[in-house]
Amino acid sequence: MNKIAVLTSGGDCSGMNAAVRAVVRAALSRGMGVLGIQKGFSGLLHDHMEELTTRSVSGILQRGGTFLQSARCKELYEEAGQARAAQKLRDLGVEGLVVIGGDGSLKGARSMHLRGIPTIGIPASIDNDIPFTDMSLGVDTALNNILYAVDCLRDTASSHDRAFVVETMGRNCGYLAMAAAVACGAEFAIIPETPYDIDKICRLLRARYSEGRDNSIIMVAEGAALAQDLAEQIKDCIGFETRIMVLGHYQRGGAPSAFDRILAARFGVAAVEALLEGQSGKMVGLSCSSLQLTDLEKVTTSGTRPIDFKLIRLGETLGI
Protein backbone atom coordinates (compact mmCIF):
# COMPACT_ATOMS: atom_id res chain seq x y z
CA MET A 1 0.00 0.00 0.00
CA ASN A 2 1.59 3.28 -1.13
CA LYS A 3 -1.04 5.91 -0.61
CA ILE A 4 -4.00 6.39 1.73
CA ALA A 5 -6.48 9.21 2.22
CA VAL A 6 -8.06 10.61 5.37
CA LEU A 7 -11.14 12.78 5.85
CA THR A 8 -13.27 14.15 8.67
CA SER A 9 -17.01 14.16 8.08
CA GLY A 10 -20.32 15.16 9.72
CA GLY A 11 -20.43 17.25 12.89
CA ASP A 12 -16.94 18.16 14.09
CA CYS A 13 -15.59 17.32 17.54
CA SER A 14 -12.45 17.78 19.57
CA GLY A 15 -9.88 15.08 18.90
CA MET A 16 -10.45 14.97 15.12
CA ASN A 17 -7.20 16.87 14.52
CA ALA A 18 -5.31 14.56 16.87
CA ALA A 19 -6.72 11.55 14.99
CA VAL A 20 -5.71 12.96 11.57
CA ARG A 21 -2.22 13.61 12.95
CA ALA A 22 -1.98 10.03 14.22
CA VAL A 23 -3.12 8.64 10.84
CA VAL A 24 -0.58 10.79 9.00
CA ARG A 25 2.32 9.99 11.31
CA ALA A 26 1.53 6.25 11.35
CA ALA A 27 1.23 6.12 7.55
CA LEU A 28 4.38 8.15 6.87
CA SER A 29 6.37 6.00 9.28
CA ARG A 30 5.40 2.99 7.15
CA GLY A 31 6.48 4.70 3.95
CA MET A 32 3.00 5.61 2.67
CA GLY A 33 1.83 8.96 1.36
CA VAL A 34 -1.31 10.55 2.80
CA LEU A 35 -3.89 12.62 0.97
CA GLY A 36 -5.94 14.89 3.25
CA ILE A 37 -9.43 15.40 1.85
CA GLN A 38 -11.01 18.68 2.91
CA LYS A 39 -14.70 19.15 3.82
CA GLY A 40 -15.46 15.43 4.08
CA PHE A 41 -16.91 13.45 1.19
CA SER A 42 -18.13 16.67 -0.36
CA GLY A 43 -14.50 17.82 -0.73
CA LEU A 44 -13.67 14.51 -2.38
CA LEU A 45 -16.41 14.99 -4.96
CA HIS A 46 -15.35 18.59 -5.57
CA ASP A 47 -11.56 18.06 -5.57
CA HIS A 48 -10.60 19.77 -2.31
CA MET A 49 -7.51 17.93 -1.14
CA GLU A 50 -3.85 18.26 -0.23
CA GLU A 51 -0.87 16.00 0.35
CA LEU A 52 -0.22 15.78 4.12
CA THR A 53 3.24 15.77 5.68
CA THR A 54 4.43 15.86 9.28
CA ARG A 55 4.65 19.64 8.79
CA SER A 56 0.98 19.84 7.77
CA VAL A 57 -0.11 18.14 11.00
CA SER A 58 2.27 19.98 13.29
CA GLY A 59 0.63 22.16 15.95
CA ILE A 60 -2.88 20.71 15.47
CA LEU A 61 -2.94 18.07 18.21
CA GLN A 62 -4.15 20.51 20.85
CA ARG A 63 -6.68 22.30 18.62
CA GLY A 64 -10.41 21.58 18.61
CA GLY A 65 -12.40 21.38 15.38
CA THR A 66 -10.84 19.87 12.29
CA PHE A 67 -8.23 21.63 10.17
CA LEU A 68 -9.39 19.51 7.21
CA GLN A 69 -12.87 20.93 7.81
CA SER A 70 -15.98 18.83 7.77
CA ALA A 71 -19.31 18.68 5.98
CA ARG A 72 -22.44 16.62 5.65
CA CYS A 73 -22.63 15.35 2.06
CA LYS A 74 -26.10 14.70 0.63
CA GLU A 75 -24.65 13.41 -2.66
CA LEU A 76 -23.19 10.44 -0.81
CA TYR A 77 -26.69 9.24 0.17
CA GLU A 78 -27.23 8.43 -3.53
CA GLU A 79 -25.72 5.47 -5.39
CA ALA A 80 -24.44 7.80 -8.11
CA GLY A 81 -22.58 9.98 -5.59
CA GLN A 82 -21.03 6.93 -3.95
CA ALA A 83 -19.86 5.57 -7.29
CA ARG A 84 -18.33 8.95 -8.21
CA ALA A 85 -16.55 9.20 -4.86
CA ALA A 86 -15.07 5.69 -5.15
CA GLN A 87 -13.95 6.38 -8.73
CA LYS A 88 -12.31 9.65 -7.62
CA LEU A 89 -10.31 7.75 -5.01
CA ARG A 90 -9.23 5.16 -7.61
CA ASP A 91 -8.22 7.90 -10.06
CA LEU A 92 -6.15 9.52 -7.32
CA GLY A 93 -4.33 6.23 -6.70
CA VAL A 94 -5.72 5.97 -3.16
CA GLU A 95 -5.42 2.39 -1.88
CA GLY A 96 -6.92 2.90 1.57
CA LEU A 97 -9.27 5.39 3.25
CA VAL A 98 -9.73 6.45 6.87
CA VAL A 99 -13.06 8.15 7.65
CA ILE A 100 -13.37 10.03 10.95
CA GLY A 101 -16.95 10.91 11.87
CA GLY A 102 -20.36 9.94 13.24
CA ASP A 103 -23.12 7.59 12.13
CA GLY A 104 -23.77 9.17 8.70
CA SER A 105 -20.04 9.33 7.95
CA LEU A 106 -19.59 5.68 8.89
CA LYS A 107 -22.37 4.81 6.43
CA GLY A 108 -20.36 6.71 3.81
CA ALA A 109 -17.26 4.74 4.85
CA ARG A 110 -19.16 1.49 4.38
CA SER A 111 -20.30 2.54 0.92
CA MET A 112 -16.66 3.11 -0.11
CA HIS A 113 -15.74 -0.36 1.23
CA LEU A 114 -18.62 -1.91 -0.71
CA ARG A 115 -17.30 -0.21 -3.85
CA GLY A 116 -13.89 -1.77 -3.45
CA ILE A 117 -11.97 0.94 -1.58
CA PRO A 118 -10.32 -0.51 1.56
CA THR A 119 -11.83 1.68 4.29
CA ILE A 120 -11.61 1.93 8.08
CA GLY A 121 -13.88 4.16 10.20
CA ILE A 122 -13.04 6.04 13.39
CA PRO A 123 -16.08 6.94 15.57
CA ALA A 124 -16.20 10.66 16.32
CA SER A 125 -19.30 12.37 17.70
CA ILE A 126 -19.91 14.08 21.01
CA ASP A 127 -23.30 12.34 21.33
CA ASN A 128 -21.64 8.96 22.09
CA ASP A 129 -24.42 7.39 20.06
CA ILE A 130 -22.27 5.10 17.89
CA PRO A 131 -22.62 1.41 18.81
CA PHE A 132 -19.69 -0.99 19.32
CA THR A 133 -17.45 1.53 21.03
CA ASP A 134 -17.54 2.50 24.70
CA MET A 135 -16.53 6.03 23.78
CA SER A 136 -16.44 8.01 20.56
CA LEU A 137 -13.88 10.70 19.97
CA GLY A 138 -14.88 14.10 21.36
CA VAL A 139 -17.24 12.85 24.07
CA ASP A 140 -14.82 13.32 26.96
CA THR A 141 -13.92 16.87 25.90
CA ALA A 142 -17.60 17.75 25.48
CA LEU A 143 -18.29 16.42 28.98
CA ASN A 144 -15.50 18.55 30.40
CA ASN A 145 -16.93 21.58 28.58
CA ILE A 146 -20.34 20.90 30.12
CA LEU A 147 -18.86 20.53 33.61
CA TYR A 148 -17.06 23.85 33.31
CA ALA A 149 -20.30 25.57 32.27
CA VAL A 150 -22.41 23.93 35.00
CA ASP A 151 -19.85 24.74 37.71
CA CYS A 152 -20.11 28.39 36.65
CA LEU A 153 -23.91 28.22 36.61
CA ARG A 154 -24.01 26.75 40.13
CA ASP A 155 -22.09 29.76 41.43
CA THR A 156 -24.55 32.26 40.04
CA ALA A 157 -27.60 30.06 40.74
CA SER A 158 -26.64 29.79 44.43
CA SER A 159 -26.37 33.55 44.70
CA HIS A 160 -30.00 34.02 43.64
CA ASP A 161 -31.97 30.89 44.70
CA ARG A 162 -32.28 29.83 41.07
CA ALA A 163 -32.83 26.63 39.17
CA PHE A 164 -31.06 26.23 35.83
CA VAL A 165 -32.32 24.02 33.05
CA VAL A 166 -29.21 23.08 31.09
CA GLU A 167 -29.67 21.65 27.59
CA THR A 168 -26.94 19.40 26.22
CA MET A 169 -26.60 17.98 22.72
CA GLY A 170 -27.78 14.45 22.03
CA ARG A 171 -30.46 14.03 19.39
CA ASN A 172 -31.31 10.41 20.12
CA CYS A 173 -28.96 9.68 22.93
CA GLY A 174 -28.90 10.84 26.54
CA TYR A 175 -25.32 9.86 27.33
CA LEU A 176 -23.94 13.40 27.53
CA ALA A 177 -26.78 14.66 29.74
CA MET A 178 -26.68 11.61 32.03
CA ALA A 179 -22.89 11.40 32.36
CA ALA A 180 -22.67 15.17 32.90
CA ALA A 181 -25.40 14.98 35.56
CA VAL A 182 -23.38 12.38 37.46
CA ALA A 183 -20.14 14.31 37.04
CA CYS A 184 -21.54 17.70 38.10
CA GLY A 185 -23.97 16.51 40.75
CA ALA A 186 -27.10 17.67 38.94
CA GLU A 187 -30.44 17.06 40.62
CA PHE A 188 -32.23 15.76 37.50
CA ALA A 189 -31.31 14.28 34.13
CA ILE A 190 -33.95 14.15 31.42
CA ILE A 191 -32.93 11.87 28.55
CA PRO A 192 -34.66 10.46 25.46
CA GLU A 193 -34.26 6.84 26.57
CA THR A 194 -36.43 7.04 29.68
CA PRO A 195 -39.77 8.76 30.36
CA TYR A 196 -39.95 11.66 32.81
CA ASP A 197 -42.72 12.98 35.02
CA ILE A 198 -42.79 16.79 35.11
CA ASP A 199 -45.11 16.85 38.17
CA LYS A 200 -42.71 14.68 40.14
CA ILE A 201 -39.78 16.90 39.11
CA CYS A 202 -41.71 20.01 40.28
CA ARG A 203 -42.59 18.28 43.57
CA LEU A 204 -38.95 17.40 44.24
CA LEU A 205 -37.76 20.89 43.28
CA ARG A 206 -40.31 22.44 45.65
CA ALA A 207 -39.09 20.13 48.43
CA ARG A 208 -35.48 21.20 47.78
CA TYR A 209 -36.54 24.85 47.93
CA SER A 210 -38.42 24.28 51.21
CA GLU A 211 -35.33 22.62 52.69
CA GLY A 212 -33.48 25.86 52.06
CA ARG A 213 -31.33 24.68 49.14
CA ASP A 214 -30.11 27.67 47.14
CA ASN A 215 -29.86 26.14 43.65
CA SER A 216 -30.87 23.25 41.41
CA ILE A 217 -29.55 21.93 38.11
CA ILE A 218 -31.79 20.09 35.67
CA MET A 219 -29.83 18.56 32.78
CA VAL A 220 -31.81 17.81 29.65
CA ALA A 221 -30.68 16.16 26.42
CA GLU A 222 -31.91 18.08 23.37
CA GLY A 223 -33.57 14.91 22.06
CA ALA A 224 -35.74 14.56 25.21
CA ALA A 225 -37.08 18.12 25.56
CA LEU A 226 -36.01 21.70 24.97
CA ALA A 227 -34.75 23.70 27.93
CA GLN A 228 -37.07 26.59 27.08
CA ASP A 229 -40.17 24.35 27.12
CA LEU A 230 -39.19 22.69 30.40
CA ALA A 231 -38.49 26.05 32.03
CA GLU A 232 -41.94 27.25 30.95
CA GLN A 233 -43.53 24.19 32.56
CA ILE A 234 -41.75 24.47 35.91
CA LYS A 235 -41.13 28.16 36.44
CA ASP A 236 -44.23 29.04 38.41
CA CYS A 237 -44.41 26.05 40.71
CA ILE A 238 -40.98 25.23 42.18
CA GLY A 239 -40.08 28.14 44.41
CA PHE A 240 -36.77 28.75 42.65
CA GLU A 241 -36.55 31.40 39.97
CA THR A 242 -35.79 29.60 36.73
CA ARG A 243 -33.22 30.30 34.02
CA ILE A 244 -32.01 28.28 31.06
CA MET A 245 -28.69 27.58 29.39
CA VAL A 246 -28.59 25.95 25.96
CA LEU A 247 -25.02 24.73 25.63
CA GLY A 248 -25.28 24.05 21.89
CA HIS A 249 -22.17 24.00 19.75
CA TYR A 250 -19.96 25.25 22.60
CA GLN A 251 -19.82 21.60 23.64
CA ARG A 252 -18.14 20.55 20.39
CA GLY A 253 -15.15 22.91 20.54
CA GLY A 254 -12.09 23.53 22.67
CA ALA A 255 -8.76 21.82 23.20
CA PRO A 256 -9.22 18.04 23.41
CA SER A 257 -8.87 16.45 26.85
CA ALA A 258 -5.96 14.10 27.58
CA PHE A 259 -8.38 11.19 27.21
CA ASP A 260 -9.46 12.31 23.73
CA ARG A 261 -5.89 12.97 22.60
CA ILE A 262 -4.79 9.50 23.64
CA LEU A 263 -7.93 7.88 22.19
CA ALA A 264 -7.32 9.76 18.92
CA ALA A 265 -3.73 8.51 18.82
CA ARG A 266 -4.83 4.92 19.45
CA PHE A 267 -7.71 5.05 16.93
CA GLY A 268 -5.57 6.72 14.24
CA VAL A 269 -2.66 4.31 14.49
CA ALA A 270 -5.00 1.29 14.72
CA ALA A 271 -6.86 2.42 11.58
CA VAL A 272 -3.62 2.58 9.57
CA GLU A 273 -2.45 -0.77 10.93
CA ALA A 274 -5.81 -2.34 10.05
CA LEU A 275 -5.49 -1.12 6.45
CA LEU A 276 -1.95 -2.52 6.26
CA GLU A 277 -3.24 -5.88 7.51
CA GLY A 278 -5.70 -5.93 4.63
CA GLN A 279 -8.76 -5.12 6.75
CA SER A 280 -11.63 -3.11 5.28
CA GLY A 281 -15.23 -2.23 6.09
CA LYS A 282 -14.46 -2.05 9.82
CA MET A 283 -14.69 0.55 12.58
CA VAL A 284 -12.05 0.86 15.29
CA GLY A 285 -13.77 1.01 18.68
CA LEU A 286 -12.95 1.03 22.36
CA SER A 287 -14.08 -1.96 24.40
CA CYS A 288 -13.14 -2.12 28.10
CA SER A 289 -9.87 -0.21 27.51
CA SER A 290 -8.87 -2.36 24.51
CA LEU A 291 -9.36 -1.60 20.84
CA GLN A 292 -11.61 -3.77 18.71
CA LEU A 293 -12.61 -3.84 15.05
CA THR A 294 -16.32 -4.20 14.22
CA ASP A 295 -17.88 -4.62 10.79
CA LEU A 296 -19.26 -1.29 9.58
CA GLU A 297 -22.30 -3.22 8.45
CA LYS A 298 -23.09 -4.06 12.09
CA VAL A 299 -22.23 -0.54 13.27
CA THR A 300 -24.46 1.16 10.71
CA THR A 301 -27.45 -1.18 10.94
CA SER A 302 -27.69 -1.62 14.72
CA GLY A 303 -29.30 1.73 15.50
CA THR A 304 -28.18 4.13 18.19
CA ARG A 305 -25.85 2.85 20.90
CA PRO A 306 -28.11 1.83 23.80
CA ILE A 307 -27.81 3.85 27.01
CA ASP A 308 -25.78 2.14 29.72
CA PHE A 309 -28.32 1.27 32.39
CA LYS A 310 -25.50 1.02 34.94
CA LEU A 311 -24.94 4.75 34.37
CA ILE A 312 -28.63 5.43 34.97
CA ARG A 313 -28.60 3.29 38.13
CA LEU A 314 -25.45 5.09 39.31
CA GLY A 315 -27.28 8.38 38.87
CA GLU A 316 -30.35 7.09 40.71
CA THR A 317 -28.20 5.93 43.64
CA LEU A 318 -26.69 9.39 43.82
CA GLY A 319 -30.15 10.97 43.91
CA ILE A 320 -30.55 12.07 40.26
Binding site for ligand F6P (CB under 6 A): 11, 102, 125-127, 169-171, 222, 252
Nearer to ligand F6P, 65 or 185 (CB): 65
Return the closest-CA partner of residue 18 out of 8, 10, 9, 28: 8
Nearer to ligand F6P, 117 or 263 (CB): 263
CB of 78 to ligand F6P, least distance (A): 20
Nearer to ligand F6P, 35 or 176 (CB): 176
The question of whether 260 is a catalytic residue gets the answer no
The residue whose Cβ lies closest to ligand F6P is 169
- The Cα–Cα gap between 71 and 242 comes to 37
Nearer to ligand F6P, 96 or 174 (CB): 174
Task: List the catalytic residue out of 127, 129, 140, 260.
Answer: 127
Terminal-to-terminal C-alpha distance of the chain? 52
Active site residues: 127
